[in-house]
Amino acid sequence: MTKTYLTLLALLSTLTLYAQKWPEYGLSQVRIIEADRTIVARIEPSGKPDIYTGRQYYWYSSNTIQTTQGGFSGRLLHGIYQEFYISKNLKTQGYFKKGLKDGVWKSWNENGTLIETETWQQGSKNGEFTTYDALGRQKQQGNYKDGFREGKVRSYQGPDSVTTVRYKAGQPVKAAPASPTVWQKLKEFRLWKKHSPKTTA
């Protein structure tokens, strides 16, 4: 009897120990209902990640989501994040990794039309982004690097109208004037010769 009791006691102690340690590694889900939206997010119960001064950290405290640059004072968001309109249509969906936005984030209007996709990496925009108009048609497409637009950004005014602007570290780069081709030079020469006044001996 004593042996059985001791075995049972040891088993309960082990289960209690694991129950105490589990929150350090597990995830918890929170649900916040506000006037114009409902937030469903996962939080990291504990942990001390490396902090980047220039990054925005999202954390949970007192039934609200807070954001702070270069620090936090609550439980960091960690895992899938979703916002819903009052109509229950999806508004925003993305992923947090230790308080920082990470991966692809999407936003929709109240009618359920996709309006934006962005790519994040450790709290900074990195990768492709696309915006859409109210009808879901592509409006703008390009890339970010370290939080700044980089490379070609295409803007669509219609099915047959596309404007391309090249960016470097977030600033538009003026394209150098293209050198005329041989055919363009030949065409200009012919036009000049055609309209030049004829000289008589």
Which residue range is the domain that position 145 belongs to? Answer: 126-172
5 domain-assigned: no
Strand, coil or helix: 111: coil
pLDDT for residue 25? 34
187 domain-assigned: no
Contact 100, 123 (CB under 8 A): yes
Domain check: are 130 and 101 in the same one? Answer: no
Is residue 2 pLDDT above 70, yes or no? no
Last residue of a domain, which of 90, 112, 134? 112
Per-residue pLDDT tens digits for 41-77: 999 877 778 899 999 999 999 999 999 999 999 999 9
pLDDT for residue 193? 66
Domain check: are 94 and 139 in the same one? Answer: no
Average model confidence (pLDDT) for the chain?
83
Instruction: State mean pLDDT over 83-96.
Output: 98
As for how many domains the chain has, the answer is 2
Domain check: are 43 and 92 in the same one? Answer: yes
Is residue 7 pLDDT above 60, yes or no? no
Is residue 11 pLDDT above 60, yes or no? no
Q: What is the pTM of this model?
A: 0.72
DSSP 181: P
